[in-house]
Amino acid sequence: MQIGTTITQFLADEQRKLNTNQTDLLELMGQVVTACKVIATAVNKGALSGVMGSLDTENIQGETQKKLDVITNEIFMQTTERGGQLAAMASEEMDDVYHIPGQYPRGKYLIVFDPLDGSSNVDVNISVGTIFSILEYKGDSATPAAAEFLQPGTQQVAAGYALYGSSTMLVITTGHGVNGFTLDVNIGEFLLTHPNMMIAPDTKEFAINASNERFWEAPVQRYVRECVAGKTGPRGRDFNMRWVASMVAEVHRIIIRGGVFMYPKDTKDPAKAGKLRLMYEANPMSFIVEQAGGISSTGRQRILDVQPEGLHQRVPVILGSKNEVEVILSYHKDM
């Protein structure tokens, strides 16, 4: 029986094609794959496992933590800390760097992750996901400082996301295109189902939280206003608006059928430069989007060129179909 290409076979084939011998990276990716399988099981059990609802705790961003936020964070840490490929890790759910316990070997990579993106949707059974980014550790300390993680997105070695929806998918890039894998629960393997994923350059869909319209800057207000005007407006065609409140779900839809996702700079909270975290969300998703032929920007600069200033730094995000994002960016230039 032919079962198709597994993600492990795919990554091994990629190494051979590129004449590289990054066995540590291959093994680390394998541990991430395992973590996503375990998280998928935890998420899919839903209320049956008694882990719905919130805790009486907040993460460093001041957001109330869901029970599954904490559980999935522990799953990801425990699955990846023992293999000997990591020097340290950082998570949206932890205040500071997590150092690999002394009883485990250390390696040459750093990993940052959002264990359960879109967790506000868990209780209503809407798609959520996991996002990760792998960086090379360039120091030699056994306890890397936060500064070692503060590399621009262009330095990412690999990135990906898992989507826990009607099926569980894993979408990854190592800098040589984007490929999607679907979990076959009967054999417990991710199989290649979406090779060489590309974002359509044109689109008639955009995703934004319209309740924040009064806080947006003029370029974004102009763009959305023109889309809403449809055929009667200056764009001369009708658009559809989507909003899931899960970045993984939004980006996956864009990769599959095109679109634009925006969480732009606004004045709702002047103390925050944006809503989404640069290290855990914006950088890995921008890496994937660019590798799939799209564009990702803060509105003022390419996200992957942003020099991080802190582990939990926030940035505005505008990403998706190339031609449509370029329209939005042209409006920012007119400011």
CA distance 7 to 183: 10
CA 23, distance to chain mean position in Å, is 24
217 is in an annotated binding site: no
CA distance 116 to 40: 10
Taking a C-beta distance cutoff of 8 angstroms, is the pair 72, 39 a contact? yes
120 is in an annotated binding site: yes
213 is in an annotated binding site: no
Q: How do strand 86-91 and strand 98-99 relate by DSSP bridges?
A: antiparallel
CA distance 38 to 47: 16
* Half-sphere exposure of residue 324: CA atoms within 13 angstroms, side-chain side: 28
Q: How do strand 260-263 and strand 205-207 relate by DSSP bridges?
A: parallel
281 is in an annotated binding site: yes
269 is in an annotated binding site: no
Beta-carbon contacts of residue 102 (< 8 Å; ≥ 6 apart): none
CA distance from start to end of the chain: 60
Taking alpha carbons only, the member of 92, 123, 70, 127 closest to residue 245 is 127
> How many other CB atoms are there within 10 angstroms of residue 249's CB atom?
25
136 is in an annotated binding site: no
119 is in an annotated binding site: yes
297 is in an annotated binding site: no
53 is in an annotated binding site: no
275 is in an annotated binding site: yes
CA distance 160 to 169: 10
Annotated binding site for Mg(2+): 92, 114, 116-117, 281
Annotated binding site for substrate: 117-120, 209, 275
Annotated binding site: 92, 114, 116-120, 209, 275, 281
